[in-house]
Structure formats: structure tokens, C-alpha cells
Amino acid sequence: MMLHIPQVLTPAELNEIRQALERSEWTDGRSTVGSQGAQVKRNRQLPEDSPAARELGQKVLRALARNPLYFAAALPARTVPPLFNRYEDSEHYGFHIDGAVRALPDGAGWLRTDLSATLFLCEPEDYEGGELVVKDTYGEHEVKLPAGDMILYPSNSLHCVTPVTRGARVCSFFWIQSMIRDDQHRSMLFELDQTIQRLRARHGETEEALALTNHYHNLLREWAEV
């Protein structure tokens, strides 16, 4: 399941993050990928162990913590601290698959990558090219969202970033291990949750909404890995 999550960041948060990134030092993005990714990756990143990356990553995590749509879709168990990248001057990232596991910082163990997220930090008109292209069984999907919006998609998807031919594309990106490993189960729970929310908004707390909520939590209890 791919999902567009709008307005993850407020305008004030977005402005604060963008100003901090403008003052930051960027390094070769190939330092954070394996041998396959390094062959097709041409961009720059904020060093993941830098104070700026850690501080800005915490701002992103706090924004996600208050976003109910993100929680309903991802059902996050653990999250890699958000990273930050920049593409310009024809930089790109060819088609690749994200690694199945990622090391957590400070020796905190490993995380299984169930979901990948890209949070856009500049407006689409600020640059040309730079589309995130995700392949799945329905074909190729091009994604280029407003600043502050995020795309969430399965980490086993083949994907790329097309060359940026004008301006600069700046984003935050990270991976999530979900409480629900199976993407189909996670999608079913999300659709059920959203149906319950719509029923409550339209009719209030009815017996039917309560019954569906009970069903949702029983399925979550059955499938969750915590």
C-alpha cells in the first residue's frame, strides 16, 4: 500500500528545518548504502551521526507522533531516525531495493524495514525532475509532493529518484518496522480503521461502529508483533 500523508509538518516547522539544512554540511550519499546501491546513487546527505541530523530527525519524529493517519497506516513498532538528502545538478538514484534490515544508532540493535517514507521539504516548483518512482504490480507511480507532505510505501518496492535538472530537491527519509509485518494485513487494518472513523463522524458511536472496533482490535491482537 502506498499512501500520501499530507501536512506532516506545519509551515513553521518546515521553515525551521529548511533554514537549518541551508546551514548544514552535506556529504556523499553513497556512504550509507551497500555495494548495489552505491553503483546507482548520486546525491548528498547530512551525515547521520551529525548533531544537526539528530536534532532535525527528532523534530520529524515529534511531528509523526501527533499524526493519526501515519499511525493508522504504519502501526510503527520502531523507526530509524530520519535522515536528510539533497539532489541537484543532475544527481539521481537509480532503481534499487532498500535493504531488508537497518542498524539502529548507538548499538541499539537492528530494525526490519517494512515501510519506507519520504518527507518532502521543498515545493514541487522549486526543482525540475527529482520524482520518486515506485514500481509495484500495478506499474510505475511517480511521486512529487508539496513541502511538508510524505509518501509511505512498502520497503520491498523497486524505486528510484529521477535526475534533478533544475533547482534542488531536499527531503527527509527513513524506514519503519511495523507491528504488522504483512503488507496485506496492514492494509486491511488501515481500511477498517478508516471505515470506523468515517462511520463515527457520520453517525456517532453506534453499536455497529463498536462492533467493528472490536473486530479491528481482535485482528490487531492476532497479527501484531511487539
Q: List, in sequence order, every residue forming a beta bridge with 156; answer none if it has no partner.
A: none
**CA 183/CA 205 separation, integer angstroms:** 29
**pLDDT for position 94:** 96
Instruction: Using alpha carbons, select from 54, 69, 67, 20 the residue that is nearest to residue 170.
Output: 20
Which whole number is the average pLDDT over 112-140?
A: 97
What amino acid is encoded at 189 in this protein?
L
Confidence class for position 33, pLDDT limits 50, 70, 90: low
What gap in Å lies between CA 171 and CA 86, rounded to an integer?
Answer: 7
CA angle 42, 47, 48 (to 5 degrees): 110
Q: Which residues lie across from 76 on neighbouring strands?
A: 178
Which is nearest to 114 in space by CA: 181, 200, 47? 181
> Which pLDDT tens digit goes with each residue over 60-75?
999 999 999 999 999 9
Specify the pLDDT at position 97. 92
Q: Which residues pair with 166 in a beta bridge?
A: 128
For 174, residues 6+ apart whose C-beta sits below 8 A from its C-beta are: 57, 60, 79, 80, 81, 82, 83, 116, 117
Confidence tier at 34 by pLDDT (50, 70, 90): low
pLDDT one-digit tens code per residue, 161-198: 999 999 999 999 999 999 999 999 999 999 999 999 99
> Cβ(101)–Cβ(77) under 8 Å?
no
Given a cut of 80, whether residue 32 has pLDDT beyond it is no
Determine the pLDDT at residue 36: 64
Worst-scoring range by mean pLDDT, 16-20, 38-42, 76-80, 129-133? 38-42
Distance CA 225, CA 218 (A): 14
